[in-house]
A and B are shown apart, each in its own frame.
Chain A
Amino acid sequence: MFTTASTTPQKILQMFAAILLFAAVMGLILFIASRFTGKRDRAIAALYLLPTVLMLSVGLLYPGLRTIYQSFLDASLKSFVGFDNYTTILTDPEQLTVLRNTAFWVLLTPFVATGVGLVYAILVDKARMESFAKALIFLPMSISYVAAGVIWKFMYEFRPDQQNIQQIGLINQIIVWLGGKPQQLLIDSPLNTFLLIAVMIWIQAGFAMTVLSAAIKAIPDDIVEAARLDGVSPWGMFRFVTLPAIRPSVVVVLTTIAIGTLKVFDIVQTMTGGRFETSVIANEFYSQTFRSDNRGLGAALAVVLFVLVIPIVVYNIRQLRRSEA
C-alpha cells in the first residue's frame, strides 16, 4: 500500500485506499468526539485540531526551520560554512544575474499586468458581451504555467533566415513582415528575460482585470452620476472618481501579483530551463538543490525568496484589512 503503484489498477486502488484510510481516521476522530457529551470543548477541540497541527508542524514548520539551518551548510550539507552561501548569492556573477532577472520580473509584471487589466476592465465595463470579453482574458489563468510556456515558446519559435525556409513562430513572422531579420528570441539575453515576463503578464492580466472590474462595479452610482452632471470629462472621471475609489483593490492586485511573480518557476523551467541567463531565484533554487546538488546554496536561495516575500505579504494583508474595514 505504501509502495510505488505502477499499473493502472494499482494506482486507482491505492488512491481509494488512501481516501478510505483517511476516512477511517476522520471517522475515528468524530466517533471519539461524539462520546464526549456536554460542554467538553477542550477535549473535542484538541481532537479536531490534532491532524492539522501534526501535518503543519511536520510538513511546513519543521522543513522551514531546517532549510534555514541548511542554508549555513556546504554543498553536501556536511559542514558549517557560516554566511558563505549568502555571500555567493550577493557576489557571484551568475547569481547576480539571477537577482537582476528577479528584479526585472517583480518590477515589471505587477505593473504591466495590472495596467492592462485595469484598462480592459474599464473598456468592457457595461459593454455588450462583457462576460464573454472577460472570459477571453481570464482563460490563461486557468491553464498551467507549463502549458502557457509551451504556447508562448511556439510564438517565439525561430527558423534560420534562409531563402526557402519560412518562419513558424508568429513573432518572428511579424518581424519578417516588417522587413526585419528573424531573431533567436529565447537565446539573446537580456531580451529573452523580458519575453518570459510577457508570458507571466499574459497570465496575470486576467486576475487583475477580474478583481478591478468587481471594484469598479462596486463604485456607488450616485457618485458617478453627480460627476457626470458636473460635466467631468472621461479622463477626469477616471482620474478623480474611479481611481481613488478602487485604489485599495489596485494595491492588493499589485502585491498579490508581485508575490506570485517572485515564486515563478514553471515558466522559466519550461521555456529555457534557466539557461541563456534567464534564471530567477525560484528556478535557481531548484537547479542548485536538485540538479547541481549544491544544497547549501539552494537552501540559502529558498531563504532569500522567503525573506523577499515577507514584506510584500505583510503589506498586502494590511491593505486587505484596511479595505475591509
Chain B
Amino acid sequence: MTTAAPLTTTPLSKTEGKKLSAAAMAKKKLTSPWASLAAVIIAVVWTIPTVGLLISSFRPQDDIRRTGWWTFFTDPLVTFENYRTVLDPEKAGTNLPDSFLNSLVMTIPSVIIPLCLASLAAYAFAWMNFPGKNFLFIAIFALQIVPLQVTLLPLLQLFVAWDIDGTFWTVWLSHSTFALPLAIYLLHNFIKEVPSSLIEAARIDGAGHVSIFFRVLLPLLTPALAAFGIFQFLWVWNDLLVSLTFAGSPTISPLTVQLSNLTGTRGTAWYLLSAGAFVSIIVPVTVFLLLQRYFVRGLLAGSVKG
C-alpha cells in the first residue's frame, strides 16, 4: 500500500550515491565477473519464455508445429500470417478484434468512475469534520482485504435480479466498487500531505468545498491520480476472474477470456495462441514502457488489492 513511500525517496539517495558509484562500479566489475555472469543468467532465463513465443508468433504455421522456435536462428523465415489469421474471426474461431474493443469498453469507465468517487470521498475524509469519520474510514480501509471470490456469486444474483446480467454494467459496477477502498486510502494519504494553510487561505478567500476541490486539490493530486489510474487500467485490462464470471458470453467478453478459452479449445494451435497472446500484451506493455515510473509506483501501491 504505502510501499510507494520508499520509492519516492529513491531519486534523492541515488544522486547522493553517485559519488561512490563510479569507483565502486569499476571495482565491482573487476573483482566480480561472477556477479555479472549471475545477473546475465537471471536476465536471460527471465526473458527467454517471452522471446520464444514472440519469435514463434512470426514463424509459419507448419514450422511452429514441426520444429522448435530456436531453429529460427538457423532458418529465419518471417510471416505475419498468424496475426492475420488470429484477427480474422472466421478463421480463428474467436473474435479477437471484438474482444479487444470489449476490453477497452470495459476498462475506460472502470478507471474513471472509481477515481472520481474516490477523490470526493478522500477529500471528505481529509478536510471535513463529521461524526463517525474515523470509524467509517477504518471500515473502508478494512474492506481492502476482502477477496473478490467472496463477493462474486451474490453479486451475480443481484445483477440477475436487476436484469443487467450479461451487460457491460456488471463489469463497470463491480470493478468500480472493488477499486474504491484502495483508491480512497491512497488518495487520502496524498491529500493529507497538502498543507492545511493552502486550504485555509482558499477558505478565507471565500471558496467553498467545491471550488477548493477543483481549483486547489485536483491539480495537486495529478501524480497520485495517474499512479492509481494506470494501476487500475492494467488491473481491469488483465483481469480474468471478474470478466469470466460476469461477462463470459462471446459478445462482450474481453481479450483475457477469449485467450483463456482459446487455450482450452485450441490448446495445441500455437500459431493462433502465440499471436493472440501478443495481441493481448501490446496494450499493457506499451503502457509499461511509456509510463514506467507511474506504473511501478501504482503497482506497488496496489499490490495487496483484490
Contacts and interface: CB of A to CB of B under 8 A. Distances in A.
B166 A4 contact: yes
Contacts of A286: 149, 241, 244-245
Interface stretch (B47-55, B74-82, B83-91): B47-55
Nearest to B299: A141
A218 B9 contact: yes
A150 B277 contact: yes
A197 to B, nearest CB: 15
Given A45-B130, A60-B177, A217-B13, A19 B39 contact: no
Interface stretch (A86-94, A99-107, A187-195, A302-310): A302-310
Contacts of A310: 145
B123 A313 contact: no
A302 B150 contact: yes
Interface residues of A, number: 125
A275 to B, nearest CB: 11
B224 interface: no
Nearest to B67: A166
Given A56-B143, A137-B46, A205-B46, A63 B121 contact: no
A163 interface: no
A2 B163 contact: yes
Contact of A139 (B35, B158, B285): B285
Given A2-B169, A146-B280, A221-B20, A22 B113 contact: yes
B68 A170 contact: yes
A66 interface: yes
A150 B240 CA distance: 14
A269 interface: yes
Contacts of B25: 126-128
Contacts of A6: 251-252
A200 interface: no
Interface string B100-113: 01100100110011
Interface string A1-42: 011111010011011001100100010011001101100011
Interface string B111-154: 01100111011011000111101001000100111111111111
A168 B64 contact: yes
Given A64-B150, A120-B42, A234-B32, 10 more contacts: A18-B109, A19-B113, A44-B128, A59-B151, A63-B154, A126-B21, A155-B52, A207-B300, A214-B7, A217-B14
Interface of B: 1-3, 5-7, 9-10, 13-14, 16-17, 19-21, 24-25, 28, 32, 35-36, 38-39, 42-43, 46-50, 52-53, 56, 64-70, 98, 101-102, 105, 108-109, 112-113, 116-118, 120-121, 123-124, 128-131, 133, 136, 140, 143-155, 158, 163-164, 166-169, 172-174, 176-178, 180-181, 184, 208-211, 213, 234, 237-241, 244-245, 249, 251-252, 256, 259-260, 263-264, 267, 270, 273-274, 276-277, 280-281, 284-285, 287-288, 292, 295-296, 299-300, 303-304, 306
10 contacts: A4-B252, A5-B167, A63-B150, A126-B25, A127-B28, A142-B288, A207-B299, A225-B20, A234-B32, A260-B304
